[in-house]
Amino acid sequence: MSFIKVIKPGFFTTIQDRGRYGFQKWGIPVAGAMDEYALRLANLLVGNNQEEGCLEITLLGPTLQFNMEGLIALTGADLGAKLNGTDCPLYEAIWVKKGDILEFTGVKSGCRAYLAVSGGFDIPEVLGSKSTYVRGKFGGFKGRPLQAGDQIPVAGPSGSWEKLRGLQIPVEFRTGFTNQINLRVVLGPQSDSFTKSGIDTFLNSTYKVTNEADRMGYRLEGPKIEHKSGADIISDGIPLGAVQVPGHGFPIVMMADRQTTGGYTKIATVITPDLNKLAQAKPGDSISFQAVSLEKAHQIYREYEGQIKKLKEYLENTKNTVKSTKKAMILRINNKEYYVEIEEV
């Protein structure tokens, strides 16, 4: 059986796909990857469909041993990955052999990295998804974060995966990181519960990510946002990215593991592509909000999906030209070392 053995679990590593849709009417949270862009890119690199489950690795990564041969890819945050002791490139399809060890030496930038394996993880879907919902103790690998000694079954590569070896995602498609994040929002559904000055405060202030920032939501601190008459509403549905403002006046951005319903006013909703930026934010990072019209938000969304489509086509076209016959060697001439790559023509 092909599997990945967990030597050290790291801080918080779970299996996530693009989420468990269709069951919010029963109170079942969606879960899924926090940075769905990084998840989709990792899957594309190893020849999976974009929805496949990956390891979502938070801040301090695990130490993993591969009991398999195949392709892996790391995207998202740079958590200092090393494969058998040497730097492991991100955004590249990497061939691993049985016994290889992947470890993470510490956060360099971002917060969450995604590890895809060709063929995906061979775990049962629960309610149509491989995503782990930790609070509900179901989905993913045994409904919980990885622990030392776990053996995560890998389905094994399929299709033309071997041709993908060495494939890279061009720099312009990779996520850059900053400690000052601007999030675009569409105001509503309860923006009329706030005073004019409350809305101005929300849109013109800088907020800080607190320590209470996890898969459920990001609590921010900064200037208080003023309500007209109260922060409580009759409980209603909470969309992904909703910015809740309870009575204390500080915003909370609701993320993948959010509860399905809640009774606090929601001033705005973060647009889908910008949620990936927030998913990479760490406590102490600065957040500002910028209102866009729904038309603009939809235009941005179409461009975002267009970008992924373009990348997919690029990878499809490139994989056939990647030479797997490339060899590298070090030549010593007159006591000087030269790194030389050769390939068949």
- Closest by CA to 126, choosing from 144, 108, 138, is 138
Site residues for other proteins, 289-308, by CB under 8 A, read: 294-295, 297-298, 300-302, 305
How many residues are recorded in the chain?
A: 345
48, 269, 276, 280: residue in contact with other proteins (rule CB under 8 A): 269
Report d(CA 38, CA 174) in Å as an integer.
9
Which residue, 136 or 223, is less far from other proteins as judged by CB?
Answer: 136
For residue 246, the one-letter residue type is P
User: Rule CB under 8 A: which of 150-209 touch other proteins?
Assistant: 185-190
| Contacting other proteins within 52-111 (CB under 8 A) | none
Compute, in degrees rounded to 10, the torsion defined by CA atoms 212, 213, 219, 222.
90
What is the Cα–Cα distance from 108 to 80, expressed in whole angstroms? 6
Q: Does 232 bind other proteins (CB under 8 A)?
A: no
* Count of residues interacting with other proteins (CB under 8 A): 48
Of the residues 126, 203, 308, 322, which one makes contact with other proteins according to CB under 8 A? 126
Indicate whether 237 belongs to the interface with other proteins (CB under 8 A).
yes
Residue 30 neighbours by CB under 8 Å, 6+ apart:
19, 20, 21, 24, 131, 240, 256, 258
Nearer to other proteins, 126 or 203 (CB): 126
Of the candidates 236, 313, 316, 343, which one interacts with other proteins according to CB under 8 A? 236
Out of 195, 261, 290, 324, the residue judged to bind other proteins by CB under 8 A: 261
Q: Kindly report the backbone phi and psi dihedral angles of residue 320, in degrees, each rounded to the nearest multiple of 5, phi listed first.
A: -75, -15
φ and ψ of 20, to 5 deg: -110, 90
Residue selected from 101, 127, 203, 322 as contacting other proteins according to rule CB under 8 A: 127
What are the helix (H) ranges across the chain? 36-45, 196-204, 272-279, 294-319
The verdict on 270 binding other proteins (CB under 8 A) reads: yes
With H, G, I as helix, E, B as strand and everything else as coil, classify residue 224: coil
Which residues make up the interface to other proteins (CB under 8 A)?
21-29, 126-127, 135-139, 185-190, 234-242, 259-262, 266, 269-272, 294-295, 297-298, 300-302, 305
